[in-house]
Amino acid sequence: MRPRLLVLLVLMLAACDRLADRQVERALLRVDRTILESPDLHVVLCGTGSPLPDPARASACTAVVAGGSIYLVDVGPGSWKQVDLANLPTGAVGTVLLTHFHSDHIGDLGEATVQSWIGGRSRLLDVYGPPGTAQVVDGFHTAYAQDTAYRTAHHGEDVMPAGVAGATAHEIVLGDAFDAAARVLEREGLTITMFRVDHAPVAPAVGYRFDYRGRSVVVSGDTRRSESLIEHAKGADLLVHEALHPGLVARAVAGAQRLQLPRVAKLASDIPGYHTSPIEAAEVAEAAGVRHLVLTHLVPAPSNAIARRLFLSGVGSTFGGEVTLGADGMRFDLATGG
């Protein structure tokens, strides 16, 4: 090989090495740890889809960041990847709050438990929810027990301590009133309140309110139009509310009937009865005096501009505040004034 070509090859290989090193460094440093030091209240949408498959959306998950900790409301299938892709420091995920036990709200609880431990979580993951939460947590503990044992054996007790690998269930029992509520926890200036919503025949079903340094966020969970939700969302800065478009679902039902798919038609026709339409969600936000309405758990999730316009039709004339059609990765920062 000619000397000049050899020198050029060496230089090219060195340049490739530098580029590879920079890529590795960017990947390792992408996590935004400053969010934990912020005095503000932050919300990240980590799952805005539904059980219907959508390559752009995970199932239900909303991350709330306050006081140096990350709280996840529901952990539907695929949502943990979205938590990680949002560059959140996964070891700071210390609490999961479940709204109910449909699979599209709990499917990634095992991943949230294991991956937050891998990320450096130093205590057992706290999982709050209504009665039934312990059964869910125990099931995932059993399913993941061998995995966690392997990791401790491989990396050592100092790096992967077995004593904090799992999760602890905290069941909150609400009263009988339609708008029953209970304080879940108070920590670092943050208050989290659980309240009943109406997702019958699924019961119990709840939503959560976060109050932090004068700012507030409410996550609806799955519900039909709920007076309890209106009561507990009063004056909130941000309402993250589920939304199902009945007209689009009706088209799906009609199509299934035309194609002689009775099972699909039956299942689709049952769904709207225990969810909230976009206009009903706007009515809830207006009645509660909410400043900003974010629609999530979108059924069916709109995938283009025309579908998004149709999904939001009538919402702007119903609710006078700001409206956002949620998408995975969206982040909302609520300044607290320091």
Which residues are registered as beta bridge partners of 128?
Answer: 97, 170
pLDDT single digits (tens) 174-183: 999 999 999 9
The reply to whether 113 falls in a domain is: yes
Exactly one of 21, 32, 74, 104 is catalytic; which is it?
A: 104
Note if the pTM is more than 0.75.
Answer: yes
The reply to whether 143 falls in a domain is: yes
pLDDT single digits (tens) 147-202: 999 999 999 999 999 999 999 999 999 999 999 999 999 999 999 999 999 999 99
CATH of the domain at 178: 3.60.15.10
* Domain with 60 in it: 32-334
As for how many domains the chain has, the answer is: 1
158 in catalytic set = no
The reply to whether 129 falls in a domain is: yes
* CA separation for the pair 42, 210 (Å, rounded): 11
The reply to whether 21 falls in a domain is: no
Task: Tell me how long the chain is.
Answer: 338
Q: Which amino acid is at 4?
A: R
Nearest residue to 217 (alpha-carbon basis) of 324, 105, 292: 292
The reply to whether 130 falls in a domain is: yes
pLDDT single digits (tens) 216-250: 999 999 999 999 999 999 999 999 999 999 999 99
